[in-house]
Amino acid sequence: MGSIQLREVTKAFPKSKAAAVDQISLEIADGEFLVLVGPSGCGKSTLLRMIAGIEDVSSGQILIDDADATNAPPKERDIAMVFQSYALYPQMTVAENLHFALKLRKVPKAERIERVDEVMRMLRLKELESRTPGQLSGGQRQRVAMGRAMVREPAAFLMDEPLSNLDAKLRIAMRSELARLHERLGVTTIYVTHDQTEAMTLGQRVAVLRDGRLQQVGTPQELFHEPRNLFVAAFIGSPTINLVEAEVRGGSLRFGGHAIPVPAHARLTDGATVVVGIRPSAFELAELADDAAPRLAVRLEVVENLGDELHAIFPVDAPRVDVEGAVDVEQAGDEQLLVDERALFTAALAPRRPLAPGDEVELAIDTSRLQFFDPESGLALAGSATGEHEIERKVHAG
């Protein structure tokens, strides 16, 4: 009823060399919730608009329910869209906004009223029905925009950053409402966001885009534990993964005066230089860790206490590894005030004991969770993170 297939879909703008969307192939199954995520300007919105039919396709094919819809006008595609600005008709009341698309489609009045009423009940819009969008709060407008899409009972929902105009608290609340709604309606949904947390929490599968190219598609677990390249590794996960260049010598990874044994799962050639990725949660205070785990003696520079988690930030005497575009403008809090060429690592620790800047602590690393990348191509090296997380993923998928 609502599968969508993209075959090498491309969008080229006449005046720019690089394609805004570059040969993207994706299959979205009926009823699936797929999130398109990437930094701003990566082409995710353009791709969504092409699926909606409001942006034309330079080359490639779009199939909706196995029928070629590449050049069909929007009204002939059975899709509904929720916009970032909600795009509610300002002159119409809430009820009129919901009725409008059905009226245009010449749905009989009785059925129209029934469908609109049901959606208004479901979204608690009944008491707002005769207000105009100007008299609604942001969250209410968001619900009307959702409702407008729902009354259409379309084959698929397309959502373009639908939560980004809400404040942080409301955004999180609406996020779980969206998930529940999808659970209940089971309608195919393609959801665009720049926020990786939103992507990870909402998507059954997540497609990561960068510069118009598809980087990786997979479940949130796959993206987190088995990123295909440095970009995905750095983009997914919060706090951001720690990256450092290390030399493989004599069975050890050497970086910034530290040496840790090469884990068993990694197949690395001696003498090679690799980029090591360490998730902040792969660190643990030494006294709580398994004796076998290798230790790192560090001096803390900043300590952020989040209550149930503690972020300890410490320098590592090795050059920083920057992944272009992975840190989004919206998350620019990571921007450094003080120029520091050294790598800064973040460890996410259980707050078992008070820590303060300047403290010398020993941290244990769970080496089974290390990820390795080729410093030239940025691609993940075979043998990155396997083992128990493979199993964990399967459990999730099942």
Interface with another protein by CB under 8 A: which residues?
13, 40-41, 45-46, 49-50, 52-57, 71-75, 79-81, 83-85, 87-92, 96, 100-101, 104-105, 148, 152, 160
- From the CB of 117, what's the least distance to another protein, in Å? 19
- From the CB of 40, what's the least distance to another protein, in Å? 7
Question: How many angstroms separate the CA atoms of 185 and 146, rounded?
Answer: 12
Q: Residue 191 or 255: which CB sits closer to another protein?
A: 191
Q: Residue 101 or 122: which CB sits closer to another protein?
A: 101
Q: In what order do the strands lie in the sheet with 67-68?
A: 21-28, 4-11, 59-64, 67-68
Residues linked to residue 261 through DSSP beta bridges, in sequence order? 252
Question: How many angstroms separate the CA atoms of 194 and 196, rounded?
Answer: 6
Question: How many angstroms separate the CA atoms of 292 and 190, rounded?
Answer: 45
Q: Residue 44 or 393: which CB sits closer to another protein?
A: 44
DSSP state of 228: S
Vertex 207: Cα angle to 202 and 210 (nearest 5) = 125
- From the CB of 196, what's the least distance to another protein, in Å? 17
- From the CB of 129, what's the least distance to another protein, in Å? 15
Q: Residue 55 or 374: which CB sits closer to another protein?
A: 55
- From the CB of 91, what's the least distance to another protein, in Å? 5
- From the CB of 140, what's the least distance to another protein, in Å? 17
User: Tokens standing for 49?
Assistant: 């608009």
Got the DSSP string for 127-178? GGTT--GGGS-HHHHHHHHHHHHHHT--SEEEEESTTTTS-HHHHHHHHHHH
3-state secondary structure labels for all residues of 17-67: CCCCEEEEEEEECCCCEEEEECCCCCCHHHHHHHHHCCCCCCEEEEEECCE
Q: Residue 63 or 179: which CB sits closer to another protein?
A: 63
Question: How many angstroms separate the CA atoms of 208 and 216, rounded?
Answer: 5
What are the distances in angstroms from CA 17 to CA 7, 13, 268?
21, 8, 38
User: Tokens standing for 75?
Assistant: 């009204």
- From the CB of 189, what's the least distance to another protein, in Å? 15
User: Tokens standing for 292?
Assistant: 């076998």
Q: Residue 40 or 137: which CB sits closer to another protein?
A: 40
Q: Residue 133 or 218: which CB sits closer to another protein?
A: 133
- From the CB of 270, what's the least distance to another protein, in Å? 46
Residue 364: helix, strand or coil by DSSP? strand
- From the CB of 130, what's the least distance to another protein, in Å? 13
Q: Residue 45 or 142: which CB sits closer to another protein?
A: 45
Asked if residue 55 lies in contact with residue 160, where contact means CB atoms within 8 angstroms, the answer is: no
Q: Residue 18 or 382: which CB sits closer to another protein?
A: 18
Asked if residue 325 lies in contact with residue 389, where contact means CB atoms within 8 angstroms, the answer is: no
Q: Residue 101 or 170: which CB sits closer to another protein?
A: 101
| Cα-Cα end-to-end distance for the chain | 23
What are the distances in angstroms from CA 96 to CA 83, 133, 139, 143, 190?
18, 11, 18, 14, 26
Residue with the two structure tokens 């995905």:
232
Residue 230 has phi, psi (to 5 degrees) of: -60, -40
- From the CB of 79, what's the least distance to another protein, in Å? 7
